[in-house]
Amino acid sequence: MGNGRVLISCQEFNPRRWHQLLSRSRTVVLEPDGARDPSVEYAVVWKHRPGALSKLPNLKIIFSVGAGVDHIFADPDLPDVPIVRVVADNLTQYMTEYVVWRVLDHHRQGMAYRAQQARRTWHEPPQPPADAIHVGIMGFGTLGRAAAKALLALGFKVNGWSRSPRSAEGVNTFHGADGLDAFLGATDILVSLLPLTPATRGIIDYALLGKLNRDNALGGAFLINAGRGRLQKSADIVRALDDGLIKEASLDVFETEPLPKTSPLWAHPKVFVTPHAAATSDPVHLVPPMLAQMDAFERGETLRNLVDREAGY
């Protein structure tokens, strides 16, 4: 059993299974009892209450339960300790599946076929091949690069957009604000896998969607957002759909979650909604590497998958 205790601080999420698995090698405490515990050295968090970590005098590391860490930076009293995010094959695989599923559904005209089936219509529209379609991955990081590989294997053309220059075999890469318009103009199906930061908040708006390539084999542009809800302006997406800037959208994330029952996205015939389920954090796969990092840290080794506080991801 390692020495440093672990505080689990979560909202909107039941940490029972995380507690069980972490307890196999660490003493685990919960709020409110653990909130001021001087023997707590690690915090495992998901949307923790602002200020909840500020009373831990010996906190050494914050572990995010997810790959995204915007929920951590929402805390104005965040202690100045390293933050470790999730990078795990299991989560990457889930996200790759989601992206491939949604790209193929738009490419193979799933929405049109479902509408036809409801009308009992037997009609085969023209089907462009994958290599006629350019998928643009906005947020070309761990998840974006893995999805790109799978899409390339299916024959799609792939573009990637990141903050700094990146290269990947077979992918046409763009970066920075200066590269954004060229990236969008070369993209038929936009896949957002960006983190939510001050620089990316609200980036998916009407103007951005208008820059996608609509003159393509599918007869229009498409949006898939599995990054974060606050990257997008939902009202702009609805307007872009209604004005024909984009043909269809698959949305896994929303400005407000759960998506309010009153949202027009639920009933929009061109929108496919999933409840922030693209890539779930499975504690069976994510707790062992967390525990291994705690042990490695106590042996004086360097931490992996650290968040860059200045960049916000």
Where along the sequence are the contacts to ligand OXD (CB under 6 A)?
Answer: 66-68, 86, 281
Per-residue tokens: 282: 């499975």
Task: Quote the least distance from Cβ 212 to ligand OXD, whole Å.
Answer: 24
Task: Quote the least distance from Cβ 147 to ligand NDP, whole Å.
Answer: 9
Decide if 58 contacts 41 (C-beta within 8 A).
yes
Task: Quote the least distance from Cβ 68 to ligand OXD, whole Å.
Answer: 3
Decide if 247 contacts 219 (C-beta within 8 A).
yes
Rounded to whole angstroms, the maximal C-alpha distance in the chain is 68
By beta-carbon proximity to ligand NDP, the closer residue of 29 and 138 is 138
By beta-carbon proximity to ligand NDP, the closer residue of 171 and 226 is 226
Nearest position to ligand NDP, beta carbon: 141
Residue 7 one-letter amino acid: L
> Cα Rg for the chain, rounded, in angstroms?
21
Binding site for ligand NDP (CB under 6 A): 66-68, 95, 139-144, 161-164, 166, 193-197, 199-200, 226-228, 252-253, 276, 278-279, 313
SS3 309: coil
Indicate the burial class of 161 (C-beta count within 10 angstroms; 0-12, 13-18, 19 or more): buried
According to DSSP, the β-strands at 189-192 and 222-225 are parallel
Selection from ligand OXD, ligand NDP, none that 195 binds (CB < 5 to 8 A by kind) is ligand NDP
Selection from ligand NDP, ligand OXD, none that 139 binds (CB < 5 to 8 A by kind) is ligand NDP
Q: Answer yes or no: 123 catalytic.
A: no
Task: Quote the least distance from Cβ 16 to ligand NDP, whole Å.
Answer: 20
Stretch (H or E) spanning 271: strand 271-273
Of 201, 214, 276, 309, catalytic: 276
Selection from ligand NDP, ligand OXD, none that 63 binds (CB < 5 to 8 A by kind) is none
Residue 111 one-letter amino acid: M
Decide if 163 contacts 144 (C-beta within 8 A).
no
Task: Quote the least distance from Cβ 69 to ligand OXD, whole Å.
Answer: 8
Q: How far apart are CA 58 and CA 40, in angstroms?
A: 6
Q: Answer yes or no: 228 catalytic.
A: yes
Of 228, 230, 239, 285, catalytic: 228
By beta-carbon proximity to ligand OXD, the closer residue of 210 and 289 is 289
By beta-carbon proximity to ligand NDP, the closer residue of 73 and 113 is 73
By beta-carbon proximity to ligand OXD, the closer residue of 67 and 294 is 67
Task: Quote the least distance from Cβ 162 to ligand NDP, whole Å.
Answer: 4
Residue 270 one-letter amino acid: K
Selection from ligand NDP, ligand OXD, none that 143 binds (CB < 5 to 8 A by kind) is ligand NDP
Decide if 172 contacts 152 (C-beta within 8 A).
no
In this structure, the number of other CB atoms found within 10 A of the CB of residue 269 comes to 9
Cis check for the bond before 38: say yes or no (omega within 30 of 0). Answer: no
By beta-carbon proximity to ligand NDP, the closer residue of 29 and 137 is 137
Residues recognised as catalytic: 228, 276
